[in-house]
Structure 1
Amino acid sequence: MKREISRPRPGVEAHFKNIGFAYAHMDGEPYWDESARYIFTLREIEDDIEAATRELDALCLELVGRIAESEETMDRLHVAKHARELIAESWKRRDPSLYGRFDLAYDSKGPAKLLEYNADTPTSLFETGVVQWHWLEQLTASGELPQHADQFNSLHDRLIARWAEIAPERLVHFGAMSDSVEDFGTAAYLADCAVQAGCGAALLDMHDVGLDGAHFCDRDGRKIETLFKLYPWEWMFADTFSHAPAMRVTRFVEPPWKALLSNKGMLALLWEMAPGHPNLLECYFASNPRAAALGQSYAKKPIYSREGANVLLMKDGAAIASTPGDYGAEGHVRQALHMLPCFDGRYPVVGSWVVGGEPAGMGLREDATPLTSNHSRFVPHAIVG
């Protein structure tokens, strides 16, 4: 694994406009950054990233089976009481999952380590599956990369195939917050994948979801039978409509059982279940006396949070990085400090995707600090050698 300087493509902004990449810049700053690229060997991808992704997905599914049968563990995760039966029923039915993203620390010198799992509302799909693939094709065509260069990236095709499996010929509503260009763009991309799979698709703002008797409905009065929601389960469970009978009528993507894995308390539970696993970091609930075993170096993370908010990194008793936010009321976990590798003053995190239980590709985001946030930049990768 190495970082290289890369020459940006001429006319790339016109290309982005043509493919509908509306958030290449966000908040006045570049989000997509092709002035650099990360280079991997095939062995690193297959043995270290892909294998770890498959292993972590299996561990997570085993963990859900344990949590779904334990009221005490639900308490530890601060799962809303009225949601627990819905979650358990969803797991018992094995309601299908579309996707998830494991955020890994990896430097090619040791096993990939799980930092967290974006199991419910992960973004960076379009830039991973489409934008960086176009980048690879154009750089190999121009000779900037060798003709045999490849990418760990079957994400786009796997998403289409998965929609065909879980919602064949159904109308799927895609809900997100329309005031977020990234979230709404991600929902629109997934809707396009569903259409290519033969499904119908309707895009709507989450505020436009209504209730009509025993069903949720859209503004046109159509029943919402299948809803993809780029809206966290913990937010939904805090809403009044989460008590409605329609919650048991609607088919959700991601399904309710994914709420158990989008909670960072699962990092502590994974360590309890598989202590010493090479792809896991030692982790405890902050209220657990055993958290003191981590000493003065650890990452403190809220049980519920988004976009890397309210994370604190402590090293030898001193805070070395932190992010602001409004999360943490439900409690925190303490995870053993494992620094991201540093390349040219940049710290990359590997986002490894799983679709329908299979590793599907990866995207890298890097930052000038050891913490990854919604301001971190997406940098493409290639496999050479």
Structure 2
Amino acid sequence: MQRLVRQARADWRQRLEAVGMDFHTIDGAVYWDESACYRFNRSQIDVLDDATAELHKLCLHAVAEVIRRDWFDRLRIPRWAVPYLTASWERGEPSLYGRFDLAWDGSGPPKMLEYNADTPTALPEAAVVQWFWLADCQPGADQFNSIHEKLIAFWQRYRQHHAEVYFAGVADSAEDAGNVFYLMDTALQAGIRPHWLAIDDIGWQAAAQQFVDLQNRPIRALFKLYPWEWLLREEFGPYLPKAQPSLLEPAWKQILSNKGILSILWELFEGHPNLLPASFVDKPLLGDYVRKPLYSREGANIEIRRGAHVVESAGLYGDDGYIYQRYTPLPNFAGNYPVIGSWVVGGEPAGIGIREDKTEITGNNSRFVPHFFVED
């Protein structure tokens, strides 16, 4: 794994906007950063592929164990939602996607930092934007990236049950909109009729016991770029078991979108080479650690403690509790710390996207840097 410094394309902004990515600059700073790229060889890509498949398998096993052992209180999942969640798992409701965040420098086993199992973003830049970059800048190389094809294949299977799908997100977020509109496009390519709807425009029709759009049409299938823990706390959250719309991500993903799953995975598979030691706060780790809220996003409220040295980020999370995870250093390329986001689509490894920052906490504005690989 190498970080290569290179010249950005003169018209890179226009090229990104031409493929639908207009959030390439955030708060005046570059988000899409092609002044560098990461180089792998095929053997390293095989390692990432295998590790992602293995972690996905472990996570599915962990869901079954949480349900079997009734560990919902450990994850702060409200009791009223447990039968709904359990039924979702037992029905085998499909999962569209997820993203494992990995620490890896190209040697040894990749280590799982966390699993973005419910509302992962940085999708269009991983699936499409860096693919077009590859064609322009590294035409003789390859890329670990079948995300786009696997998304369309998922929607083709999903279309057998739902010919139209509503896509909901936060209306005033350009990044969220970019992710949702990209997914709508992949669904359209698979023959599904997609409909955009702001999350707060979803209505409840009490007489029919169903969720509806602004024209009072029933919502049978819904993709929501909106966290499960927020959804359950909404006024209409308790109506979900009554209406039973088909949701992506499904209700059982609540188990995996909670950072408590890191502790549970270590408890179930202690010593696994792709996992880091982790524990709930009642069993604090000795030595250097990272403290993470059970529920948080975009690197908020993270504390890294290495001896007397502490790095922490601000935020509004932590009221539901924390977990501890053994600290593992991120690769350091001249002061740039990359995290590899390895995607699972339709249950299969699908490719990677890399985010990097000047600190070891990856946040909302951390840069996306493209990658490629060559034969050994």
TM-score w.r.t. structure 2 length? 0.97
Write the distance in 2 (CA, Å) between the matches of 1:4 and 1:150: 16
**Displacement of 1:122 after TM fit?**
0.1
**Displacement of 1:188 after TM fit?**
0.7
Task: Give 2:87's match in structure 1, choosing from 86, 89, 93.
Answer: 89
Give the conservation status (yes or no) of the 8 Å contact 2:335–2:358: yes
RMSD, aligned CA: 1.1
Write the distance in 2 (CA, Å) between the matches of 1:103 and 1:247: 35
Match of 1:324 in 2: 314
Give the conservation status (yes or no) of the 8 Å contact 2:98–2:117: yes
Report whether the alignment pairs 1:269 with 2:259: no
**Displacement of 1:109 after TM fit?**
2.2
**Displacement of 1:29 after TM fit?**
1.1
Moved more, 372-381 or 15-24: 15-24
The code of the aligned residue for 2:336 comes to R
Match of 2:301 in 1: 310
Give the conservation status (yes or no) of the 8 Å contact 1:354–1:360: yes
Match of 1:258 in 2: 253
Match of 2:58 in 1: 59
Give the conservation status (yes or no) of the 8 Å contact 1:309–1:325: yes
Q: Give deviations 1:258-287, integer Å, cap 9, x for gaps.
A: 010000000000000000000000000012
The code of the aligned residue for 1:23 comes to F
Give the conservation status (yes or no) of the 8 Å contact 2:96–2:345: yes
The code of the aligned residue for 2:79 comes to K
**Displacement of 1:167 after TM fit?**
3.1
Q: Give deviations 1:28-75, integer Å, cap 9, x for gaps.
A: 1110000000000000010x211000000000000001112333x101
**Displacement of 1:7 after TM fit?**
1.3
Q: How does 1:16-165 map to 2 (within 5 A)?
A: 16-46=16-46, 48-71=47-70, 73-141=71-139, 147=140, 149-165=141-157
**Displacement of 1:11 after TM fit?**
1.3
**Displacement of 1:16 after TM fit?**
1.8
**Displacement of 1:245 after TM fit?**
5.3
Report whether the alignment pairs 1:200 with 2:200: no
Give the conservation status (yes or no) of the 8 Å contact 1:176–1:206: yes
% identical equivalent positions: 46
Write the distance in 2 (CA, Å) between the matches of 1:101 and 1:346: 21
Consecutive unaligned residues in structure 1, runs of 5 or more: 142-146
Give the conservation status (yes or no) of the 8 Å contact 1:297–1:317: no
Give the conservation status (yes or no) of the 8 Å contact 1:86–1:248: no
Moved more, 237-246 or 310-319: 237-246
Equivalent residue of 1:95, what SS?
Answer: coil
**Displacement of 1:248 after TM fit?**
4.2
Give the conservation status (yes or no) of the 8 Å contact 2:210–2:243: no
TM-score w.r.t. structure 1 length? 0.95
Equivalent residue of 1:362, what SS?
Answer: strand
Change in 2 beyond 3 A, CA 1:277/1:17 = same
The code of the aligned residue for 2:130 comes to Q
Give the conservation status (yes or no) of the 8 Å contact 1:348–1:364: yes
The code of the aligned residue for 1:4 comes to L
Report whether the alignment pairs 1:182 with 2:175: yes
Equivalent residue of 1:252, what SS?
Answer: strand
Give the conservation status (yes or no) of the 8 Å contact 1:155–1:360: yes
Write the distance in 1 (CA, Å) between the matches of 2:200 and 2:37: 39
Match of 2:210 in 1: 215
Write the distance in 1 (CA, Å) between the matches of 2:57 and 2:358: 33
Give the conservation status (yes or no) of the 8 Å contact 1:352–1:360: yes
Match of 2:239 in 1: 244
Structure 1 runs of 4+ with >3 Å offset: 245-248
Report whether the alignment pairs 1:362 with 2:352: yes
The code of the aligned residue for 1:25 comes to T
Match of 1:287 in 2: 282
Moved more, 13-22 or 97-106: 13-22
Give the conservation status (yes or no) of the 8 Å contact 1:171–1:199: yes
**Displacement of 1:195 after TM fit?**
0.5
**Displacement of 1:317 after TM fit?**
3.6
Moved more, 12-21 or 34-43: 12-21
Write the distance in 1 (CA, Å) between the matches of 2:96 and 2:159: 10
Write the distance in 1 (CA, Å) between the matches of 2:4 and 2:153: 34
Equivalent residue of 1:126, what SS?
Answer: helix
Match of 1:144 in 2: none
Consecutive unaligned residues in structure 2, runs of 5 or more: none
Give the conservation status (yes or no) of the 8 Å contact 2:211–2:243: no
Equivalent residue of 1:94, what SS?
Answer: coil
Report whether the alignment pairs 1:229 with 2:224: yes
Write the distance in 2 (CA, Å) between the matches of 1:25 and 1:222: 37
